[in-house]
Every structure is written in structure tokens, then in C-alpha cells.
């Protein structure tokens, strides 16, 4: 999908007062009049008065230099960096020390990642869970349950995780973005499925759902007991139904699959690590469709945190961009999160590679500033 740059006047409107035109149409906010009884202007004004409950967040790293920088940026909520499957790292004492370490910098530890990362199944920390290798699967799931219990006892309210066979799939060839930045990209038609199967072999939708359900039925009740929310990251990227990727039908890479997922074991503690970038990769027209997806999951309390990432393109062909440089109107998206009362972290996610930007630190700093500015504007309007 070609990228159409916004005009300078549109950019100026978005940055100075991106709600000023709300009265001219609820579409800008994604709010419809209730059965024709309320005008678009009234609905928009009502949404504008809603409090801004979300906060800027961070993920991946809890080192001292990072925490000092985040505190200076005003980013006071994080998900910690990776923890291994070693149960010693998941003791109540170890998790409490981690929380207190983060808090010593004036930052709150809102989440930790379970050792169920986005790695391909051959590199997964606990592959037996999805491979259904019993009795090792039950032992691994019990360890996950204990990790959740210990997180709750240590005062950590959320854990995030993945249920993927294929990992995050991208083309080896990157695209060139603004200022010569190198962009991660995916084009299904040009991508090579090598080897043709993962070590899981052929995974049909029924097999995948059976293994998801087996996991959730054992873990969700523990999350409820521990009062710890568990947040799944969707499959990145989406793949075509009936074709999948390397023999796997990627059921968690479609909006209808995510709807089924959150309903499989209903619970207020079972929801999504809502990666907006990944979800827009599922859509033919991301800029228009993403708002209804946010509303669907957000109105049901199923968005636990947000990866605030933009793309150019859409379903089966896209590049990842900085948040202000893609096809999705990110200020409008943030208004939609406010509309549904989302109160979790809004976090930068993948960033382009920029010459001289070691580890993407400058790109991430840009993202933090961008998110802070949008939130500040929303607060002023509220």
C-alpha cells in the first residue's frame, strides 16, 4: 500500500489541537450518535471531557541507566526486561527486590514478561507448552502458574506472554524510510517459508485452539486467585487463513481469533497486550479499521497495555515506521483509547534503524516525547 503524506496544514492541526475539529464530525473521534438522538458534536464533546487515565510506559529493560533516563522523561511505569524460566528469578523475594529496584528510581513496575516470548518454537523457553509434550507440558504450566502467584505476592499486577509457533516474521530485505532510516518490513508474497514446517509439524486451527484452551483453563483461574492480569501479545504478523506460515494456521493473528481468544475462558484477568502495530498488520485499511478494534476490546476491558506502533501498508505487506510517519492517525487512535477508558501503559515498540543510533536509543526517546506530547494535549482538552 503506497504511503500518502499528510499535508502540512493537517499536520499542524494534529499537533496544535487535534480535537479542535471534533464538533464537525464524530468520525474524527470514532464516536457515533446514539441512534440519531445525540449529535456528532455532542458525542465528540462528551468524549473530550473524559479523563485521561492512560500513562506512558516502557518495556524491555530495567537497568539503572534506562530507569534514570525514563524518570527524566517522565515515564514512570514500565514492564521489566526479560526474566528466564529459572524459578529462582521468580521467587517472591526476587520479584520483590526487582520491584523495589525499579521503584527506587521513582518508577512503578506494572508488569513482567513470562518466559513465553515471541521466539520461534525451536528457540522458545518452554516449547513443551505449545508442542503438547506431556508430562513436561503440565510441569511447565505449573511453573507458569507459580510465577503468576509469586508476581501477585510481590505486588506486580500484570504479566505478559506469547503463544506463538512461528515467532515474529519479517523479510530479510528492509525498506528505506524518512531520512534514510532502515525499516523492518514484511511482504507475504516475497517471503520465503524456510524450512517449510516448524518442529511442530502441521498445526491446524483445531490443534492450535486445543492447545490454547488447555493452557488457559489451567492458568486463568490462578491469575484470578492471585489477582494478576495475564496479557497475550497477538501473532506478529497476520497470515492468510488456509495458508498460514510454515504449516501453522496462525489463529492469534486475526481479529476474529483474538475475539475468540478472550472469550475462551472469560475473566477480567485474561486479556491482551494490545500491540497496535501488530493489529494494524491484520487490517486491509488500518487507519479506518483500527478504531473499531480498539473499541471492541477496550469496551470489554480486554486491553491491558498498548504497544503504540505505526506502519505503512497493511495486511500481508507493510513496513514499520516511527509513530508520526505511518498510515495510521496516531492522535486519533489515542483519543479512541481515552474513549473506552483505557488506563494502562502506552509504550513505544519496534523502531527503525537510524545510522549512529546505537540500540535505537534516539528513536525510542523520540517515541517517548511523541507519546508524552499527545497525552499532555489530551489532558489539556479534558
Quick: pLDDT tens for 106-120: 999 999 999 999 999
Of 28-32, 112-116, 297-301, which range is least confident?
A: 28-32
- Can you tell me the mean pLDDT for 28-52? 53
- The pLDDT > 70 percentage for the chain reads 87
Task: Give the residue among 345, 360, 308 at the shortest CA–CA distance from 80.
Answer: 345
pLDDT in tens, 120-130: 999 999 999 99
- Can you tell me the mean pLDDT for 151-179? 98
Residue 58, φ and ψ in degrees, nearest 5: -145, 155
Q: Looking at residue 49, what is its pLDDT?
A: 77
Q: Which pLDDT band, with edges at 50, 70 and 90, does 150 fall under? A: very high
- Can you tell me the mean pLDDT for 192-197? 96
* 24 vs 378, residue with greater confidence: 378
pLDDT at 324 over 80: yes
- The pLDDT > 90 percentage for the chain reads 86
Q: Looking at residue 35, what is its pLDDT?
A: 43
Q: Looking at residue 24, what is its pLDDT?
A: 33
- Can you tell me the mean pLDDT for 52-79? 97
Instruction: Please tell me which of 23-32, 37-46, 57-66 the model is most confident about, judged by mean pLDDT.
Output: 57-66
pLDDT at 5 over 60: no
- Can you tell me the mean pLDDT for 275-289? 98
Strand order in the sheet with 158-161: 55-56, 345-347, 303-307, 270-275, 229-232, 158-161, 108-113, 77-81, 58-60
- Can you tell me the mean pLDDT for 338-365? 97
Cα–Cα distances (Å) from 68 to 73, 75, 76, 79, in that order, read: 9, 10, 10, 15
- Cβ(220)–Cβ(301) under 8 Å? no
Q: Looking at residue 342, what is its pLDDT?
A: 98
All domains of the chain in start order, with CATH: 60-381 (3.20.20.150)
pLDDT at 25 over 80: no
Query: Residue 319 forms beta bridges with which residues?
Result: 185, 312
Q: What is the mean pLDDT of the chain?
A: 91
Q: Looking at residue 47, what is its pLDDT?
A: 65
Here the cell at position 363 is 528513536
Q: Which pLDDT band, with edges at 50, 70 and 90, does 9 fall under? A: very low
- Cβ(366)–Cβ(337) under 8 Å? no
Q: Looking at residue 382, what is its pLDDT?
A: 78
Q: Which pLDDT band, with edges at 50, 70 and 90, does 32 fall under? A: very low
Q: How far apart are CA 151 and CA 143, in angstroms?
A: 12
- Cβ(79)–Cβ(229) under 8 Å? no
Of 40-44, 252-256, 344-348, 365-369, which range is least confident?
A: 40-44
* 16 vs 99, residue with greater confidence: 99
Would strands 182-183 and 175-176 be described as parallel, antiparallel, or unpaired? antiparallel
Amino acid at each position: 500500500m503506497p504511503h500518502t503524506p499528510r499535508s502540512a496544514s493537517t499536520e499542524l492541526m494534529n499537533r496544535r489541537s487535534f480535537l479542535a475539529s471534533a464538533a464537525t464530525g464524530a468520525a474524527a473521534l470514532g464516536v457515533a450518535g446514539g441512534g440519531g438522538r445525540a449529535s456528532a458534536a455532542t458525542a465528540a464533546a462528551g468524549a473530550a471531557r473524559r479523563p485521561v487515565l492512560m500513562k506512558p510506559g516502557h518495556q524491555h529493560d530495567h537497568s539503572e541507566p534506562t530507569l534514570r533516563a525514563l524518570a527524566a522523561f517522565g515515564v514512570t511505569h514500565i514492564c521489566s526486561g526479560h526474566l528466564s524460566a529459572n524459578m529462582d528469578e521468580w521467587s517472591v523475594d526476587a520479584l520483590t527486590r526487582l520491584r523495589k529496584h525499579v521503584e527506587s528510581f521513582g518508577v512503578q513496575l506494572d508488569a513482567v514478561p513470562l518466559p513465553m516470548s515471541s521466539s520461534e518454537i525451536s528457540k522458545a523457553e518452554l516449547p513443551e507448552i505449545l508442542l503438547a509434550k506431556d508430562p513436561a507440558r503440565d510441569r511447565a504450566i505449573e511453573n507458569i502458574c507459580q510465577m503468576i502467584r509469586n508476581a501477585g505476592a510481590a505486588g506486580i499486577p500484570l504479566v505478559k506472554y506469547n503463544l506463538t509457533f512461528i515467532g515474529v516474521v519479517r523479510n530479510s530485505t528492509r525498506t528505506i524510510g524518512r531520512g534514510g532510516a532502515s525499516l523492518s518490513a514484511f511482504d507475504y508474497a516475497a517471503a520465503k517459508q524456510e524450512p517449510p514446517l516448524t518442529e511442530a509439524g502441521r498445526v491446524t486451527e483445531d490443534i492450535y485452539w486445543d492447545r490454547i484452551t488447555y493452557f488457559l483453563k489451567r492458568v486463568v483461574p490462578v491469575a484470578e486467585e492471585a489477582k494478576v492480569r495475564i496479557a497475550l501479545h497477538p501473532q506478529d504478523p497476520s497470515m492468510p487463513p488456509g495458508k498460514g506460515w510454515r504449516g501453522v494456521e496462525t489463529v492469534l493473528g486475526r481479529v476474529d481469533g483474538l475475539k475468540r481468544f478472550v472469550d475462551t475462558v472469560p475473566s477480567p484477568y485474561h486479556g491482551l497486550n494490545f500491540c497496535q502495530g501488530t493489529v494494524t498488520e491484520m487490517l486491509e485499511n488500518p487507519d479506518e479499521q483500527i478504531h473499531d478494534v480498539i473499541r471492541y476490546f477496550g469496551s470489554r476491558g480486554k486491553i491491558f497495555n498498548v504497544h503504540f506502533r505505526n506502519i505503512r501498508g497493511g495486511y500481508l505487506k507493510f513496513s514499520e515506521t516511527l509513530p508520526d510517519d505511518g498510515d495510521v492517525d496516531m492522535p486519533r487512535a489515542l483519543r479512541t483509547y481515552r474513549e473506552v477508558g483505557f488506563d494502562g501503559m502506552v509504550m513505544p515498540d519496534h523502531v527503525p534503524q537510524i545510522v549512529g543510533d546505537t540500540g535505537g536509543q534516539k528513536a525510542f526517546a523520540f517515541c517517548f516525547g511523541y507519546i508524552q506530547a499527545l497525552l499532555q494535549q489530551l489532558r489539556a482538552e479534558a
